[in-house]
Amino acid sequence: MGAASGMESAIVDSSNLIDSLNAAQREAVTAPCGRTLVLAGAGSGKTRVLTHRAAWLLQAEEASAYSILAVTFTNKAAAEMRGRIAGLVGIAAGGMWIGTFHGLAHRLLRLHWREAGLPQHFQILDAEDQRRLIRRTLRNLEIDESRWPPRQIQGFINARKDEGRRPEALEPHDAYSEQMRQLYRAYEEACRAGGGLVDFAELLLRCYELLRHQPALLEHYRRRFRHILVDEFQDTNRIQYEWLRLLAGSESDVFIVGDDDQSIYGWRGAQVENMQRLQRDEPSTRVLRLEQNYRSTRTILAAANALIARNSRRLGKHLWTEGAAGEPIAVYAAFSEQDEARFVVERIRSLIESEGYARSDCAILYRSNAQSRAFEETLFGREIPYRVYGGLRFFERAEIKDALAYLRLLVNRNDDASFERVINTPPRGIGVKTLDALRSQARQRQTSLWQAAGELLRAGALSGRAARATTAFIELIDRLSGPLAEPALAARIEVVLAQCGLHEHYAKDRSERGLDRLENLDELISAARTFEQAREPTDDEADSLTAFLAHAALEAGEVQAGEQDDGVQLMTLHSAKGLEFPVVFLVGLEEGLFPHRMALDEPGRLEEERRLCYVGITRARQRLLLSFAERRRLHGQDHYGTASRFLLELPTELVQEVRARFSVTRPQTKVHAVEPMVTADTAAFSLGQRVRHATFGEGIVLSCEGSGPNTRVQVNFAHSGSKWLVAAYANLKPCP
DNA sequence: TTTAGTTGAATAAAG
DNA sequence: TTCAACTAAA
């Protein structure tokens, strides 16, 4: 309340705020409150618009920071947004809720755990925890894991939750779907019995249901969050979409930024259709476009535009730049993946040596992780530092998860998953037999393993050695959470690590791996210290341990950073989204690899592959180099591939084939030109072009078919949706 | 309980 | 080919 007043002085003059924006950005930032959907092309200043919008609301609209909710997908994006808004308006951003969908849902559930039907100290399951729990559930039901793979069940459950469906809402149509439904039910029951375990999908669904079923609460938050900002809207799944609509009600100002052409997460539930759905569900939505690109050369943009124009069902957008044409796009047809790596690395070397590029200016982007290998070996061989993104993150490491399982057990004895994880880690003589006895007792009495252990001990049902070890374990946990337990988080964790034997266990291991793990455990203690210091005391009622455990699940930490600050960057296309590099090598452009074979049969999935390629191309600022290998070793077997269709879809005039300097014995492949997409008759309309119709208003050309007087054009109108029109009668006028 | 050997799967991955 | 998960032997 009083917080904002003292900080107002830090706010810069509002005229400065929009001075640095172009006309389209300014129009978006200053759009009147209501429903706004900004179609923000790659490199068009999307984050700028979002952060300036927030600043604008605070200044020109005199909105209170308290009334703003901003949602992103990643912690990184949330942190960046927070930082940039703070930079624009001073620290007045303090009262805003800025976070990921999951982080915000979690916050609401923590505040209203009772209404949400959760225990106060409910724990979050990450993907691995969830799979383990499913596996345990299967064993309890004596279901064959090879016939019902846990991964598949996990996928099923999460997909249903992403759609907002509980087991009761399913309509099984065969034995398989009926069994899946049963397993979904059993899993839900296991989560409940485990003392309120909440997986990632559950956070969202549970929060949605909370708001849905508590009208007073919903009303409260609707009144509070007058302004909602959404980033990367094309990545929302069904439940996120419904959650946003519910929270927004009909009154809130909703400002959404997204790009349907960069939707690459359909496989994890994202629904690009939400972009169209929004316009249907909220007809008052004002659609604005950011099409001026500040990142890439004209050549690179032309290639990107041409490629993405082949997709249907686009909202339509045409990126342009005031910048120079730049270098042509190089294509290298490699003989093998080693040859490909050699070419790329040699190029990087010469860019660094003769053109003054830094190593970190160069990125190698590939479709699948396995492809990094050849590049790593070559870079390593030439002693060029590099950094590979992806892989295990800090809180996902086994030793860290072991430690966290001990901590969870302190908070909740009935957390069977954690119990099983640590009962014999480090080894303390409790083997399968003892564990089996505990499990069957627990199943019989419908209790947790912890309770079952107590019962069996009291009944004297365990053999001497097992009984001693189990008693010691139970006493250990009780002692660690007892009245003498250290109150300060970091110190407490230190005590736990020392007492439970994990520290000693890894200290015995003198190998590099053991040293690594020991280091990580120490790192955990300092992570806790940092966390405790950064935590706002008023955050919520949760104690610091519970809060830290949630933090560990929600923010699994940075992907392991290579030691090199200035190294060549290697990553998948997916993880490159949102980044940019002066030089991009897009490698492995082969049919079956990219587009991936798994995506070949379905047109929708193929289009997602094409968008992925579009994302890759638009990462490049100055130079783009493409390559493919004619022979590639996959899973120990040689494959002879052909150039990716995406290569052939690029306008030939933008592309220059690089020839090997020495003649390598290899079959010559040509990058053939592909037939033009639009025939001469229909060329008047290019895909993605904006046109005006006398009655339907403005729209975007989605596709053309037929020729001459029969030409039919599909146009997606901003207000009337998509329609097929006969070009000869429609009298469509191109829009400037 | 630990280990060596076997089997099977292998697209992308935030929270 | 590689890696994780599992099984059988010590």
Residues A123-159: tens digit of each pLDDT: 999 888 898 889 888 888 888 888 888 888 999 999 9
Report the pLDDT averaged over residues A308-315: 93
Show the beta-strand stretches assigned E in A635-732. 637-640, 655-658, 690-693, 697-705, 712-717, 721-726
Confidence band for A666, pLDDT divided at 50, 70 and 90:
very low
pLDDT at A567 over 80: yes
For A240-256, write each residue's pLDDT tens digit: 999 999 999 999 999 99
What sections of A536-666 are H helices per DSSP? 544-554, 573-576, 603-617, 645-648
CA of A238 to C1' of B13 (A): 18
pLDDT at A14 over 70: no
CA of A476 to C1' of B12 (A): 42
Q: Among A472-481, A532-541, A660-669, name the one with the lowest average pLDDT.
A: A660-669
Does A40 show up as a binding residue in the annotation?
A: yes
Question: pLDDT value at position A679?
Answer: 31
Helix axes A398-411, A544-554, angle to 10 degrees: 140
Q: Are A531 and A548 in contact (CB under 8 A)?
A: yes
pLDDT at A341 over 90: yes
Confidence band for A667, pLDDT divided at 50, 70 and 90:
very low
Please tell me the distance from the alpha carbon of residue A137 to that of residue A62, in angstroms, as a whole number.
53
When computed from its CA atoms, the radius of gyration of chain A, rounded to whole angstroms, is 28
Report the pLDDT averaged over residues A653-679: 52
Please tell me the distance from the alpha carbon of residue A363 to that of residue A581, in angstroms, as a whole number.
6
Give the count of beta carbons closer than 10 Å to the beta carbon of residue A337.
26
Q: Among A65-79, A306-320, A425-439, A462-476, name the one with the lowest average pLDDT.
A: A425-439
Question: pLDDT value at position A701?
Answer: 65
Which nucleotides on chain C have any atom < 7 A from a protein Cβ? Answer: 1-2, 6
Q: Tell me the residue type at A284.
A: S
Report the pLDDT averaged over residues A444-458: 91
pLDDT at A499 over 50: yes
Closest CA to A712 of A732, A696, A695: A732
Q: What is the CATH number of domain A126-194?
A: 1.10.10.160
Strand partners, A38: A257, A288
Q: Which residues does A701 contact at the CB level (< 8 Å), separation at least 6?
A: A316, A685, A686, A687, A688, A689, A690, A691, A713, A714, A715
Question: pLDDT value at position A710?
Answer: 46
Q: Among A173-187, A496-510, A637-651, A698-712, name the one with the lowest average pLDDT.
A: A698-712
CA of A438 to C1' of B14 (A): 36
Percentage of residues in chain A having pLDDT higher than 70: 87
Rounded to the nearest angstrom, the gap between the alpha carbon of residue A86 and the centroid of all alpha carbons in its chain is: 24
Residues with CB under 7 A from strand B: A 73-76, 100, 102-103, 126-127, 158, 200-201, 267-269, 367-370, 390, 393, 424, 427-432, 554-556, 559, 571-572, 574-575, 596, 598-599, 605, 635-636
Question: pLDDT value at position A29?
Answer: 97
Q: How many residues does chain A have?
A: 736
Please tell me the distance from the alpha carbon of residue A712 to that of residue A691, in angstroms, as a whole number.
14
Residue A255, H or E segment: strand A253-258
Q: Is the CB of A185 under 7 A from strand C?
A: no
Residue whose token pair is 């200053």: A30
Does A46 show up as a binding residue in the annotation?
A: yes
Q: Which residues does A1 contact at the CB level (< 8 Å), separation at least 6?
A: none
Q: Which nucleotide is nearest to A151 (CA to C1')?
A: B9
CA of A450 to C1' of C9 (A): 32
pLDDT at A661 over 50: no
Strand-strand pairing, A329-336 and A721-726:
unpaired
Report the pLDDT averaged over residues A311-317: 91
What sections of A382-488 are H helices per DSSP? 398-411, 416-422, 432-445, 449-458, 464-481
User: pTM here?
Assistant: 0.86
Please tell me the distance from the alpha carbon of residue A627 to that of residue A648, in angstroms, as a whole number.
12
Question: pLDDT value at position A147?
Answer: 83
Report the pLDDT averaged over residues A348-365: 96
Which nucleotides on chain B have any atom < 7 A from a protein Cβ? Answer: 1-2, 9-15
Q: Is the CB of A639 under 7 A from strand C?
A: no
Judge if the upstream peptide bond of residue A328 is cis by omega within 30 degrees of 0. no
Strand-strand pairing, A568-572 and A386-388:
parallel
Judge if the upstream peptide bond of residue A149 is cis by omega within 30 degrees of 0. no
Q: Among A228-237, A452-461, A475-484, A555-564, name the one with the lowest average pLDDT.
A: A555-564
Q: Is the CB of A135 under 7 A from strand C?
A: yes
Give the burial class of A283: count Cβ atoms within 10 A of its Cβ; 0-12 exposed, 13-18 middle, 19 or more buried: exposed
Catalytic residue positions of A, numbered: 46-47, 231-232, 262, 619
Residue whose token pair is 């809720």: A97
Question: pLDDT value at position A5?
Answer: 37
For A711-722, write each residue's pLDDT tens digit: 556 666 666 655
Output the CA–CA distances (angstroms, integers) from residue A107 to A411, A424, A635, A645, in the order listed: 19, 34, 44, 46
Strand-strand pairing, A581-586 and A362-366:
parallel
Please give the protein residue whose CA is closest to the C1' of the nucleotide C2.
A635
For A171-208, write each residue's pLDDT tens digit: 988 888 899 999 999 999 999 998 899 999 999 999 99
Using DSSP's 3-state secondary structure scheme, residue A640 falls into strand
Q: Write b or e for each residue in A443-471: b if 16 or more Cβ atoms lie within 10 A of its Cβ, otherwise e.
A: eeeebbbbbbbbbbbeeeebeeebbebbe
Strand partners, A570: A364, A388
DSSP string covering A154-187: HHHHHHHHHTT--GGG----SHHHHHHHHHHHHH
Q: What angle do CA A41, A46, A47 make, to 5 degrees?
A: 155
Most confident segment among A70-74, A387-391, A515-519: A70-74
A14-113+205-294 folds as: Rossmann fold (3.40.50)
Residue A72, H or E segment: strand A68-72
Report the pLDDT averaged over residues A62-89: 93
Question: pLDDT value at position A17?
Answer: 84
For A201-244, write each residue's pLDDT tens digit: 999 999 999 999 999 999 999 999 999 999 999 999 999 999 99
A329-391+561-658 folds as: Rossmann fold (3.40.50)
Give the burial class of A579: count Cβ atoms within 10 A of its Cβ; 0-12 exposed, 13-18 middle, 19 or more buried: middle
pLDDT at A608 over 90: yes
Question: pLDDT value at position A462?
Answer: 83
Q: Among A22-36, A609-623, A673-687, name the one with the lowest average pLDDT.
A: A673-687
Helix, strand and coil percent figures for chain A, each rounded to 5 = 50, 15, 30
CATH architecture designation of domain A396-554: Orthogonal Bundle (1.10)
Rounded to the nearest angstrom, the gap between the alpha carbon of residue A371 and the centroid of all alpha carbons in its chain is: 21
Show the beta-strand stretches assigned E in A532-680. 568-572, 581-586, 620-634, 637-640, 655-658
Report the pLDDT averaged over residues A375-389: 94
Q: Among A19-28, A317-326, A496-505, name the one with the lowest average pLDDT.
A: A496-505
